[in-house]
Amino acid sequence: MSGVIRLYGLLFLIDLILVVVALIDCLSTEEFAVRNLPKVAWVFIILLFPPIGPIVWFVAGRPQHQRAGRAGAWKPGSGFPEYERPRPVAPDDDPEFLRGKSRERRDDDELFRKWEADLRRREEDLRRQDGESEPS
């Protein structure tokens, strides 16, 4: 009989330790990191359903600290070699961009010259018309 009491005492102590550890772990976990249920629900499950509640917390509620799947942290040397690594180029260092800008500037200058010539021609036409209409 005393062996059964000792066994129950040991199981009670293990259950109490499990509940306390799970409760401390749950309460110290950030709200956004808790999985599957809100944090308050996990506290009630841990307190109301010992020893199943703490075990379920450790299995299904506790945040995962490892990444899921095969992806891991990037290790130097596992990607492109340094000389093949694609690098972004600033616009003022990109020769193609600069060629395009010089073409645009030439086109704009040509268009501006045409507009000025057209404006001079129209002004001359207006002066001629004014000169012809004054003697009448």
Q: Where are the domains of the chain?
A: 2-61, 91-133
User: Does the pLDDT value for residue 79 go beyond 80?
Assistant: no
| Helix, strand, coil % in the chain, rounded to nearest 5 | 70, 0, 30
Query: At 13, is the pLDDT very low, low, confident or very high (cuts 50, 70, 90)?
Result: very high
Give the model's pLDDT for residue 85: 66
**Whether pLDDT at 94 is above 90:** no
Q: What pLDDT is attached to residue 95?
A: 84
For residue 114, give both structure tokens: 């045409």
pLDDT confidence band for 73 (50 / 70 / 90)? low
Mean pLDDT of 36-40: 91
The reported pTM is: 0.47
| Of residues 11 and 85, more confidently modeled | 11
| pLDDT tier for residue 87 given thresholds of 50, 70 and 90 | confident
- Burial of residue 50, with CB atoms counted within 10 A of its CB: 0-12 exposed, 13-18 middle, 19 or more buried: middle
Quick one: what percent of the chain has pLDDT higher than 70?
A: 82
